[in-house]
DNA sequence: GCAAGCTATGTAAGCGCTTACACTCATGGC
DNA sequence: GCCATGAGTGTAAGCGCTTACATAGCTTGC
């Protein structure tokens, strides 16, 4: 007998029907304790594990959660993924991950075969059109968003407006008046709320502080180290460069720092730099940042989803908080 | 009709049998071009996508690859994952990821239900006993290892002995004689070849250089920033601290640098530090390192696996190479 | 012109589960 | 003592595909 044991093998060995085996092994009621024990013993002896495909086909539930991210090899997404996986694994769910490139607008989530494999979907920072959101809401699949806000979809949300406002205000309070923003919207992404909200928060803070808004100081860093590097180069090439920079992510801030060092400049002596995330190495390079509990974002999304799958839908977003961590990359402007 | 269309709906609409639909949609031979076109049109009109569970149950193939890593939120693993996902997605396979904590020896891979969902398994830096390796080899599941060498299992391998030898020799060539090793084996991991080989390479280089081996200079950094930090603290507290450190990973090297800076010391002025990986921020902090094409490790593993699944098994490991990237964290010892 | 050999298609038997429904006994209230 | 009740178990019908096998129609060679 080389192929794996089936439920029938277990039933024969335990001397009961397959239905009883199915019930016993899934802890359903109406199974006599003695029978349950016999079934469990038989299953253990045969090293039986139910076939997930068969189980999914018969029950309609896959016990799998899919997770869509713009890219797999980024610090933020791997943290979110880790947080979700821990919670899901504990609940007996498996995690199917896939990348959806935000710059490919034809790539509709629901058209991905992978989504059919899952009971639910966690979307992280994916640009979703209203139309697609409606399609998702109408589908069989439960969806929870992380990071961005999509109409009708529950989410683990950061108050991005406030994060940006606070970060900018930190620079303002140090005395800066010429403050740049390194953000990123990118080509295909229209609805992606994170950069939009953070930009709005930045603008609100500048306005609140009575500071002029110079469009030349708002540049795109594509949420990557390399992008932040380039963006900072552009800023420093201006005839009147900024004295402080708010980067929408630590990775872009790293790139910005790198560019300063390339120019034999330093933070905060020449330019103050603040990021968002509290990346693992932010501490190492002394980056002031708005801390996020990123692993917790994933864990919360997973918990929210599990509640949905149990039918408890209270329709409330989960709000996660941020806070300023002051390190050595920000300080008063040079006079 | 709220539930998704089935193959039967497509068959009715196209006026053929379900068998023909199945064949037409999977590009099998012996389908008349006109019929195929009609089936494809019907499928498109209904927005039909086959149910993966049903397909898996009937065919025995899930079109899914599972990937086991010690943890999801580490730079190295997320890169490997990304490399594999890109290749697998292009071939129509989905990626199921899960964490196997190396310090839990009771956690056998084959006993994980998740593995039953997959046609094949990529294991990355997982501590696998010979017994478990044999069990895997005998199973229905194809397995490819990344990073570590397991008997009977094809792998994407780094010549870890050489990496360590070369890194150590770089320090030796700069004139260092008191060289420390920050590595990591950890409790439960007995067979995990990466630290074992790297340690051997370190020892070989020291011996080749005619240098004394001081066991006090070999410390555990657990392959994390925090662990490297602690390890470096222990080293610097020695009555005779090292003048150079070889850390088995960049993340541990970052921790080591951090500890130096905490002590108002610097690399390479006080201690030279070299790592392995060429982590995204290694460049930023000027870390000398042994470069690895980590994304490529995952991609190669995926390609190897796809070949296996097509029945082409040539039994050859894929070797990936490393090279020294000299930056500012290494230099001659202070005299 | 006909058997042999194709190609194109259909028929139907599973794949290994879950679950609605039916059934058999105990048990208990009256 | 009888019927309603409910706990424990079995029977069997799917779930939506894949695929071995059967069949029907066309070529082709001689």
Same topology between domain B64-158+295-320 and domain B160-293? yes
Span of A17-21, B110-114, B119-123, B198-202 with lowest mean pLDDT: B110-114
Higher pLDDT, A89 or B186: A89
Q: Looking at domain A7-50, what is its CATH homologous superfamily?
A: lambda repressor-like DNA-binding domains (1.10.260.40)
Q: How confident is the model at residue B246 (pLDDT cuts 50, 70, 90)?
A: very high
What are the residue boundaries of the structural domains of chain A, listed by start?
A: 7-50, 64-158+295-320, 160-293
Question: Rounded CA gap, B187 and B169, in Å?
Answer: 29
With a cut of 50, list the residues of chain A below it in pLDDT.
1, 187-188
**Residue B104 in this model has a pLDDT that exceeds 70:** no
Footprint of strand D on the protein (CB under 7 A): A 15-20, 23, 29-32, 34-35, 54, 57-58; B 3, 6-8, 18-19, 22-23, 25-26, 48, 50-51, 54-55, 57-60
Over residues B303-307, mean pLDDT:
93
Q: Which residue is nearest to nucleotide D20 (CA to C1')?
A: B19
Q: What is the pLDDT of residue B135?
A: 86
Q: What is the pLDDT of residue A105?
A: 64
Query: CA–C1' span, B17 to D24, in Å?
Result: 15
Query: Domain B64-158+295-320 is of which CATH architecture?
Result: 3-Layer(aba) Sandwich (3.40)
Strand, coil or helix: A170: helix
How many degrees, rounded to 5, is the angle at CA A89 between CA A88 and CA A94?
80
The percent of residues in chain B predicted with pLDDT above 90, rounded, is: 71
Between the two ends of chain A, the Cα-to-Cα distance in Å is 82
User: With an 8 Å Cβ cutoff, are B71 and A82 in contact?
Assistant: yes
Name which of A160, A145, A127, A123 is nearest A246 in CA terms: A160
Question: Rounded CA gap, B55 and B7, in Å?
Answer: 11
Higher pLDDT, A74 or B24: B24
Q: Whole-number mean pLDDT of chain B? A: 91
Over residues B178-189, mean pLDDT:
77
Alpha-helical (H) ranges within A209-324 are 225-236, 250-262, 282-285, 294-309
Q: How confident is the model at residue B192 (pLDDT cuts 50, 70, 90)?
A: confident
Over residues B51-79, mean pLDDT:
93
Name which of B119, B106, B114, B63 is nearest A93 in CA terms: B114
Contact A285, B286 (CB under 8 A): no
Contact B308, B144 (CB under 8 A): yes
CATH topology of domain B160-293: Rossmann fold (3.40.50)
Q: Which residue among A71, A79, A140 places its CB closest to the CB of B82?
A: A71
Q: What is the pLDDT of residue B187?
A: 46
């Amino acid at each position: 007998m080389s192929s794996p044991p089936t439920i029938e093998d277990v039933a024969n060995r335990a001397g009961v029907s397959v239905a009883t085996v199915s019930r016993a092994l899934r802890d359903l009621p109406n199974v006599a304790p003695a029978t349950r024990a016999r079934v469990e013993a038989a299953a253990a002896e045969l090293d039986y594990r139910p076939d997930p495909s068969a189980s999914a086909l018969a029950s309609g539930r896959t016990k799998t959660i899919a997770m869509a991210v713009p890219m797999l090899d980024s610090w933020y997404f791997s943290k979110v993924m880790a947080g979700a996986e821990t919670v899901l694994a504990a609940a007996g769910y498996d995690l199917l991950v896939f990348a959806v490139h935000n710059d490919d607008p034809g790539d509709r989530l629901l058209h991905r075969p992978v989504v059919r494999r899952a009971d639910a979907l966690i979307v992280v920072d994916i640009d979703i059109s209203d139309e697609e959101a409606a399609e998702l809401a109408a589908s069989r699949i439960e969806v929870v968003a992380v990071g961005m806000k999509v109409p009708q979809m529950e989410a683990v949300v950061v108050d991005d407006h406030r994060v940006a406002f606070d970060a900018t205000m930190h620079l303002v309070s140090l005395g800066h008046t010429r403050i740049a923003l390194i953000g990123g919207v990118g080509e295909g992404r229209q609805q992606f709320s994170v950069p939009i909200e953070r930009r709005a928060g930045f603008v609100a803070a500048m306005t609140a502080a009575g500071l002029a808004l110079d469009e030349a100081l708002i540049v795109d860093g594509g949420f990557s180290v390399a992008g932040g590097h380039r963006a900072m180069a552009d800023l420093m090439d201006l005839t009147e460069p900024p004295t402080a920079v708010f980067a929408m992510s630590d990775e872009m801030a790293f790139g910005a720092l790198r560019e300063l060092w390339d120019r034999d400049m330093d933070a905060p002596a020449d330019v103050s730099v603040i990021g968002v995330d509290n990346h693992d190495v932010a501490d190492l390079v002394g980056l002031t940042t708005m801390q996020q509990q990123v692993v917790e974002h994933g864990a919360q999304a997973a918990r929210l989803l599990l509640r949905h799958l149990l039918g408890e839908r209270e329709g409330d977003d989960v709000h996660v908080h941020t806070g300023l961590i002051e390190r050595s990359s920000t300080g008063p402007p040079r006079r």
